[in-house]
Structure 1
Amino acid sequence: MLDHVGILVADWNKAKAFYDAIFGPLGITLLNQVPEEFTGGFKVGGYGKDHPDFWLTESREVGPGRHYAFRAETRGEVDAFYAAAVAAGGKDNGGPGLREHYSANYYAAFVIDPDGNNIEVVCHAPG
Structure 2
Amino acid sequence: MTRGAGTNNVQGGAMVASCEAIAGPGDDSATPAAPQQRLISRTLRAHANQSRAMARIAEQIQAIPKFTTEAQERAYWEKHDSTDHLDGSKARKVTQPNLKPTTKTISLRLPQHLLDSIKVWLQEKLRTH
- TM-score scaled to structure 2, two decimals? 0.18
Going by fraction, where is strand more abundant, 1 or 2?
1
Structure showing greater radius of gyration is 2
Going by fraction, where is helix more abundant, 1 or 2?
2
Structure having greater relative contact order (Cα 8 Å, sep ≥ 6): 1
